[in-house]
Amino acid sequence: MRTLYIISVTTAEYKPATVLNTFLRRSGVSKGTKGCCYEGGCGTCLATITAYEPLLKTYVKYTVNSCLYELYACDGTEIVTIEGLGDPTHGLHPIQERLANHDGAQCGFCSPSQVLNMYG
């Protein structure tokens, strides 16, 4: 599984209002993470984040709408996009295999986010 680590982001690189989706798409990290409504309603922009929760003293994995999640909130987190789960060349994630083998995709536009929602 390929993951993306964002260790530090400075204001010189990105404006404070930059959202994770803009970063993922413009930097070329993820083309499978779509942008559609930019209101958090459609779910085509999902990404999975693993972050340390100091109150729980453990790492917690959760799925976020990358069109609403600010890039600066990703500092020090692990981010997994659909490309990080698997691909035909290196092997699919079991969720991706099941979706493909049981005709779970229709047009395919929202399939990456469906997989990430089940994963996260």
pLDDT of residue 8: 58
Helical H segments across the chain, by residue range: 20-26, 82-85, 94-101, 111-119
Determine the 3-state secondary structure of 97 from DSSP.
helix
Q: What DSSP line would sit under 4-15, residue for residue?
A: EEE----TTTS-
**Ranges 2-6, 15-19, 63-67, 78-82: which has the least confidence:** 2-6
Report the pLDDT value the prediction gives residue 105, as an integer from 0 to 100.
75
3-class SS string, 48-65: EEEEEECCCCEEEEEEEE
Which position has the higher pLDDT, 6 or 103? 103
The CA-CA-CA angle for residues 24, 28, 30, to 5°, reads 55
Q: Domains of the chain: which residue ranges? A: 4-119
For 84-104, write each residue's pLDDT tens digit.
Answer: 888 888 889 999 999 889 888
Rounded alpha-carbon distances, angstroms, from residue 51 to 7, 40, 44, 59, 73: 12, 21, 22, 5, 10
Domain covering 4-119 in this structure, CATH number: 3.10.20.30
Query: For the residues 49-61, what does the mean pLDDT come to?
Result: 93
Residue 111 DSSP one-character state: H
